[in-house]
Amino acid sequence: MTDLTGRHIAVTRPVDQATRLTRMIETAGGQAIDFPLIAIAPLKNYSAFEQAIEDFAAQDWVIFISSNAVQHAMPSLKAKFSQWPAKPRFAAIGPVTTTELQQYGIATVLQPEHRFDSESLLALPQMQSVEDQRIMIVRGVGGRELMADTLRSRGAEVRFAECYRRINPQTDTGKLHALWQNGQLDTIVVTSSEAMRHLLAMTNNGSAEWLLGITICVNHARIAELPSSLGLRVLVATAPGDDAMLQCLSEVNHD
């Protein structure tokens, strides 16, 4: 059983996505500190999204990038059709997003089997032969362009349907600095590249003294690249998900 007794761990996920990991940390004897670096907010204007989904029924594939994309898009899509269109096939980055889609009655969803990221989805056979296919990517405003760029290079016609935005709810890292000074912070969990960028931006490109004294646990090697290049101490979980993150936390040397 994982023992995190005496540990103080900041979790930077959006509050509603941090609940299970927070509970697991505390069950293992650690103290979880809520410090969300991403908050999900609705769009100020949905006209562009409504226009994007006008030809939803004509798409060959609809790819959902996250569970937030499902939560913010599917109510509008369900309300749009009295009879659900047969044509679009559905794909998702990972199992959490797939489960969200299934709750809306989407029984068959293509997803990667092991690693849950854009690269793994693009590697699937169904995403290889997409010439002349119409593909809609449902996501938040901005984000990585790899999915769209790769599918376009394979001959697909790709459009985005952006249905939410991400904001940084923090103005500074004073709370974390104070905790570290009092010996009440040894690890930070960061599970998105965007959250990592926010953390580094608020710590003078990662050079703040307090940040140099702790370990950052991440769930993907891509997220580790930038902080590692800046000399920060980073551990990468062996797999996505809360269980692997808890194991990663247990391996931190915080002496």
pTM reported for the whole predicted model: 0.76
Same domain, 154 and 66: yes
Q: Tell me if 91 sits within 8 A of 109, measured CB to CB.
A: yes
Q: Dump the DSSP string for 18-82.
A: SHHHHHHHHHTT-EEEE--S-EEE--S--HHHHHHGGGGGG-SEEEE-SHHHHHHHHHHHHHH-S
Distances (CA, A) of 50 to 71, 73, 143, 145, 227: 15, 10, 20, 21, 38
Same domain, 239 and 176: yes
Listed residues 133, 149, 166: the one ending a domain: 166
In a domain? residue 255: no
Same domain, 246 and 135: no
In a domain? residue 157: yes
Lowest mean pLDDT, pick from 42-56, 108-122, 168-182: 108-122
What is the C-alpha separation between 172 and 176, in angstroms, rounded? 9
Q: How many domains does the chain have?
A: 2
Domain that holds residue 95: 47-166
pLDDT-derived band at 254, boundaries 50, 70, 90 = low
pLDDT-derived band at 129, boundaries 50, 70, 90 = very high
Is a pLDDT exceeding 60 seen at residue 255? no
Percentage of residues in the chain with pLDDT exceeding 90?
A: 83
Q: What is the pLDDT, as a whole number, of residue 2? A: 86
Is a pLDDT exceeding 90 seen at residue 16? no
Q: What is the CATH number of the domain that holds 174?
A: 3.40.50.10090
Listed residues 117, 145, 166: the one ending a domain: 166
Same domain, 67 and 158: yes
In a domain? residue 1: no
What is the C-alpha separation between 12 and 189, in angstroms, rounded? 6
Listed residues 119, 137, 166: the one ending a domain: 166
